[in-house]
Structure formats: C-alpha cells, structure tokens
Structure 1
C-alpha cells in the first residue's frame, strides 16, 4: 500500500493515498454507517420493511401494499378496521380517498401510523 504522509512540526497531519484505496475506504466507511444505523433501528425495535415493499409504496396504493404485506385479504382488513369490504376495495381502487377517520381505522388495523397511509 502506497501512502505518503505530510508532516507538520514532526507530526503526521495528512495521508495521501491512491484513489482506488480512497474509494475502497470510503465504501467500507459507508457500510459501517449502514450497519450502525441498522443496529440502532433494531435496538429501537423498529420494523424493517423489505425494499420491494418500499418501492411498491412509491407507485401503488398504500392501503393495498400494506394490506398485502401484512397478509390480509380485503375482507379481513375490513373486519379488523370495522369498515365494509367495499370501502376497502374502493380506496384501493382509487374510487375513494377515504376520510381521515377511515384511514385512521385502517392504519390501526394494519399496525401503522396514519402518516404511513397519507
């Protein structure tokens, strides 16, 4: 490994390294940051959402994505939220937006914050 040190008053102040080594070190530092963030999330008991679900949430109906991720049918979600299955179907199909009260019931049934559906 080729490293050049720049000193000031007899103490190393800077290290000059080849670009490929710098990029490797940068990648490893970013990986360590990711591992630290993951470990902290686990300690806080945060739910880890798979990437494919996150990507679906960007483009698809959030109620449908979360319902399917939780493994529920429309009927099961309707029963747990106290709503009609038709209401769930209309929200998922984009025919209804759902009031805050309705979305809150759905969020509670899906074990989410209301913000996750809004």
Structure 2
C-alpha cells in the first residue's frame, strides 16, 4: 500500500490511494460484522462443510484458504474465476497472497466456493 505522510497544522495525515481506502473501509465493516452478535443467523452456513484433515492441516500451516477451498471443490482457476465473475489472473494473484483487493471480489469468490467470506479471510 502506498502511503504519503503529511504534516499540517501540528497534525499528521496519511494519504492513501482511494481503492486502498475502500478496501480498508470494507475490511473494517467486515470486522465489525464478524464480532457483532446481531445477524448471527446470517453467519451460520446452512450446511457446514468440514475440510478433510489433510486440507485443514495445510490451512493451519498458513497455506492460502482460497486455494485450499478451490482444490476441495475440484475447481480450476478458470472455473472459479468464471463463477466469481473475476479474471483468472486475479484469482491466481489472490492465491499467491496479493496484499490488497476489493472485498466485493472476495465475497464473490467465497460465494463461488460455497463458503462464508470469513472462511477465506481467516481460514476456517
């Protein structure tokens, strides 16, 4: 993330690109939603799917959750990208750990994988 620090009138300001700002706002809203007791029904999956032990171990080892869920669903990069309405190169970048991206794209990927957004962000 590109940040420009500015000092004006004895105050410090951080100037960031607008897309980064939008991503931060969306992540903050997600964090609030994840810690909120309201709308609990929306957070619970109608059908909770457990990953096989091998995949859970990879997830706990720090491997990318999107890649693991994609492999579990037996989807190629192209198939997941098409279902999520994003490009194949975008999915590949996210799987390699792209530092920032729009939360709406991550939501579409989660939906295409049949999991909650939290499962690909926090790796559950």
TM surpasses 0.5: yes
1:100 deviates by 1.2
Equivalent residue for 2:42? none
- Indicate if the aligned counterparts of 1:90 and 1:96 stay in contact, CA closer than 8 A: no
- Structure 1 gap segments, 5+ residues each: 1-43
| Structure number with higher relative contact order (C-alpha < 8 Å, ≥ 6 residues apart) | 2
Equivalent residue for 2:57? 55
Query: Aligned partners of 1:65 and 1:99: how far apart in 2?
Result: 20
Larger radius of gyration: 1
Q: TM-score, normalised by structure 2?
A: 0.56
1:45 deviates by 4.8
1:1-118 equivalences in 2 (<5 Å)? 45-58=47-60, 59-118=62-121
Residues 96 and 87 from structure 1, CA distance in 2 versus in 1: closer, same or farther, beyond 3 angstroms?
Answer: farther
Q: Moved runs in structure 1, 4+ residues, more than 6 A?
A: none
Query: Aligned partners of 1:106 and 1:45: how far apart in 2?
Result: 18
